[in-house]
Amino acid sequence: MYRKLLVLIAMLFAIVGLIVGCSGDAYQPIPKADAVAVLMPTAGNTISGTVIFAKSGKAMRVIAEVSNLSPGAHGFHIHEFGDCRAADGSSAGGHFNPDNSSHGAPNADPSHVGDLGNIVADESGVGKLDLLVARPDLEGPNGIIGRSIIVHADPDDLKTQPTGNAGARIACGVIGIAR
């Protein structure tokens, strides 16, 4: 009994260690970008930023820094078309969803390939994100090149269909091949 309790406590400490170690607080060098999107504001907004995408084994690392946001969480998604011409960002289409899955949290089952959750801005309006996601790819059925990244005005609740109730599109950037 005592041995089982010790094993259980050791497992608990290992899990907590993994969670804390993977929380993003530790320094992680920025990898070479495979794809990039430069965010431009939609009408009436002043948002700017950059999103890089870097293959990491079979996963994709998404690193973003966005300025001039209101403090708090903002929905953050890959959308189906690389078209940011509409003043309200609507020309980017819906969330990138080649599998016709339900909306959800990043890496959840179910979720869209384009579901990246939220980017959270601090009191100065700067939002940073460093996320490893399993499903987006550079090419093929889940390919993101030529699609767009959208920042929304409101938080993604990670459950409302089909968009997470994330509100208006406040920035848009076309995802292209990085140099």
pLDDT tens by residue, 93-121 = 999 999 988 888 888 888 888 889 999 99
What's the mean per-residue pLDDT of the chain?
85
Highest mean pLDDT among 99-103, 108-112, 132-136, 147-151: 147-151
What pLDDT does residue 4 have? 52
Instruction: Look at residue 87 and tell me whether its pLDDT is greater than 60.
Output: yes
State which of 1-5, 92-96, 156-160 shows the largest mean pLDDT: 92-96
Give the pLDDT mean for 23-44.
78
Q: Is the pLDDT of residue 25 over 80?
A: no
Q: Which residues are catalytic?
A: 77, 79, 95, 103, 112, 115, 152, 169
Q: Which two tokens stand for residue 21?
A: 């170690």
This prediction's pTM:
0.81
- What are the sequence ranges of the domains in the chain? 44-177
Report whether pLDDT(31) > 80.
Answer: no
- Superfamily of 44-177 according to CATH: Superoxide dismutase, copper/zinc binding domain (2.60.40.200)
Three-state secondary structure string covering the chain: CHHHHHHHHHHHHHHHHHHHHCCCCCCCCCCCCCEEEEEEECCCCCCEEEEEEEEECCEEEEEEEEECCCCEEEEEEEECCCCCCCCCCHHHCCECCCCCCCCCCCCCCCCCCCEEEEEEECCCCCEEEEEEECCCECCCCCECCCCEEEEECCCCCCCCCCCCCCCCEEEEEECEECC
Closest CA to 95 of 155, 35, 161, 176: 161
